[in-house]
Amino acid sequence: MHTRQLPVGAGSIASSRALGHSAISGYPSRSAYGADAVFAGPVTYVYQPIAPTNSAAIVGMVLSLMGALTGFFPASIVGIIMGHIARRQIRRRGERGNGMALTALWVGYLGAGFWTLIWLVYFGTIVVVILAAIGAEVSVG
């Protein structure tokens, strides 16, 4: 652990001799920060444990990203559900991971909506082509 040596006031010769210094000159009677150098305490460090990251938030984000990138629609749905579960658990337990849970929700909803639209257009085009082929066959015959 590191310690600091603080300057002792110039007017306080007795206190400087008690600390093992000879005459100290050039320092004001108080330090620049307003604390008396003779009575300043040691520097202490307090370590606090970091709250764990919510597992449901991680799973939800991964599934939502997988669903959005691959077009596997059920993964986006499960990612959305896990995102909602994670947000509730984070509020209740005080865990970290709220950003990941929000990412799971946004990416899950946007990915599910995008891929639903793509699949509807794809199958709608197939239905229109089949109906056009049937209509052309009926009109020829």
pLDDT over 90 at 32, yes or no: no
What is the per-residue pLDDT for 4? 59
pLDDT over 60 at 8, yes or no: no
For 43-52, write each residue's pLDDT tens digit: 778 888 899 9
What are the boundaries of each domain within the chain?
A: 1-47, 55-140
For 90-131, write each residue's pLDDT tens digit: 999 999 999 999 999 999 999 999 999 999 999 999 999 999
Lowest mean pLDDT among 61-65, 69-73, 77-81: 69-73
Rounded Cα distance, 59 and 55, in Å: 6
Concatenating the DSSP letter of every residue in 66-98 gives HHHHH--HHHHHHHHHHHHHHHHHHHHH--B-H
Helices (H) then strands (E): counts for the chain = 4, 0
Range among 30-39, 120-129, 130-139 with highest mean pLDDT value: 120-129
Distances from the Cα of 57 to the Cα of 41, 75, 81, 105, angstroms:
44, 14, 10, 10
Which residues contact residue 43 at a Cβ distance below 8 angstroms, ignoring those fewer than 6 apart? 2, 3, 4
pLDDT over 80 at 41, yes or no: no
Which residues contact residue 54 at a Cβ distance below 8 angstroms, ignoring those fewer than 6 apart? 86, 89, 90, 93, 95, 96, 97, 100, 101
